[in-house]
Structure 1
Amino acid sequence: MKKHLTAAILTAGLFTAATPVLAADYAIDTRGAHASVNFKVNHLGYSWVVGRFDTFTGDFSYDQADPSAAKIAVTIDTKSVNSNHAERDKHIRSKDFLEVDKYPEAKFVSTKFDSTDGQTGKLHGQFTLRGVTKDIVIDVTKVGEGKDPWGGYRAGFEGATTITMKDYGIPMDLGPQSATVELEFHIEGIKK
Structure 2
Amino acid sequence: MKFLTASAFAALTATAALADPIAYEFDRTHTEINASWIHLGLSRQSIQFTDYEGTLLLDMGTPSNSTVDVTFNLIDGFWVGAHHERFIAHLNSEDLFNTAEFPTAHFVATSFETEDGQTGTMTGDLTLLGNTGPVTLDVTLNGVNEERGLAGFTATTTILRSEWGLGYAVPAISDEIIITINTELELITGDAE
Shared fold, TM over 0.5 = yes
SS of the residue aligned with 1:41?
strand
In the alignment, structure 1 segments of 5+ residues that lack a partner are 1-18
* Residue equivalent to 1:108: 107
In the alignment, structure 2 segments of 5+ residues that lack a partner are 1-16, 189-193
Aligned-pair distance for 1:157? 1.4
Matched AA of 1:54: T
SS of the residue aligned with 1:100?
coil
Matched AA of 2:53: T
1:1-192 equivalence runs, <5 A: 20-30=18-28, 33-67=29-63, 69-79=65-75, 80-84=77-81, 85-147=84-146, 152-175=148-171, 178-192=174-188
Are the aligned partners of 1:49 and 1:83 in contact in 2 as well (CA < 8 Å)?
no
| CA distance, structure 2, for counterparts of residue 137 and residue 159 of structure 1 | 10
Q: Which has the larger radius of gyration?
A: 1
| CA distance, structure 2, for counterparts of residue 143 and residue 70 of structure 1 | 19
TM-score, normalising length from structure 1?
Answer: 0.79
Cα RMSD after superposing both structures = 2.0
More helix by share: 1
> Aligned residues, how many?
169
Identity %: 28
RCO (CA 8 Å, sep 6+): is it higher in 1 or 2? 2
Aligned-pair distance for 1:93? 1.2
Matched AA of 1:91: H
* Residue equivalent to 2:8: none
Instruction: Return closer, same or farther for 1:133/1:98 CA change in 2, 3 Å cut-off.
Output: same
Are the aligned partners of 2:18 and 2:60 in contact in 1 as well (CA < 8 Å)?
no
Are the aligned partners of 1:26 and 1:189 in contact in 2 as well (CA < 8 Å)?
yes
| CA distance, structure 2, for counterparts of residue 182 and residue 175 of structure 1 | 15
